[in-house]
Chains A and B, each alone.
Chain A
């Protein structure tokens, strides 16, 4: 149990739709990172938020966006969903860029 929760657990959307995934960090953790894990692959870094500001971004298009809130929760938003967006989305929280604690993930299926 890492103290990091994600919702929903599973989600099915259709191409072109928009989705919001949520992450609740461990209390006091000021950093959250989001990762996309396609089936059979290692996770890929999407972006990181540190004290509510974006602190780096991986190789993902602008239709992937995020927010971090003062209550340690965060969101990942994906617009104009594509079939290839089907994946497990993981968030990880940490205090000042130290050891990351991962949530259980949200499995997104795009039909």
Chain B
């Protein structure tokens, strides 16, 4: 079993839909990251969370430390949101060393 599990692995949506991507982890962490990767490889850091909730534009990330679970929500999805979304965790004593989930491939159709 991987230390970081994401669901779903693939997600297809119509423009305007509300999207949720889930991440569960099995280790103690100091922080959880949500990252976006477009075709061609470049990775962009969306959020770094250690508790609660963060919002940036149409993106919202939440984390429940007790349940070892985080969600990334996209409101009013748009085709330009199509990308791979990756959850990664930093261990309690391994600052800066990320363990990644396998990613969720999101496709938003117009």
Contact = CB atoms under 8 A, between A and B. Distances in A.
Interface in B1-60: 4, 33, 35, 40-45, 48
A11 interface: no
A27 to B, nearest CB: 18
A90 to B, nearest CB: 6
Interface string B74-100: 000000000000101000001111111
B53 to A, nearest CB: 17
Contacts of A41: 102
B98 A45 contact: yes
B95 A97 contact: yes
A48 B96 contact: yes
Contacts of A97: 95-96
Interface residues of B, number: 22
Contacts of A2: 44
A35 B99 CA distance: 10
A107 B101 CA distance: 20
B95 A33 contact: no
A45 B99 contact: yes
Nearest to B43: A102
Contacts of B86: 42-43
Given A90-B41, A90-B43, A104-B41, A33 B98 contact: yes
Nearest to B95: A97
B96 A33 contact: yes
Contacts of A42: 4, 86, 88, 100-103
A48 B97 contact: yes
Nearest to B30: A97
A99 B45 contact: yes
A31 B100 CA distance: 19
Interface of A: 2, 31, 33, 35, 37, 41-45, 48, 50, 55-56, 58, 88, 90, 92, 94, 97-105, 107
16 contacts: A35-B100, A42-B102, A42-B103, A43-B43, A43-B86, A43-B88, A43-B100, A45-B97, A45-B98, A88-B41, A90-B43, A100-B33, A100-B45, A102-B44, A104-B42, A105-B43
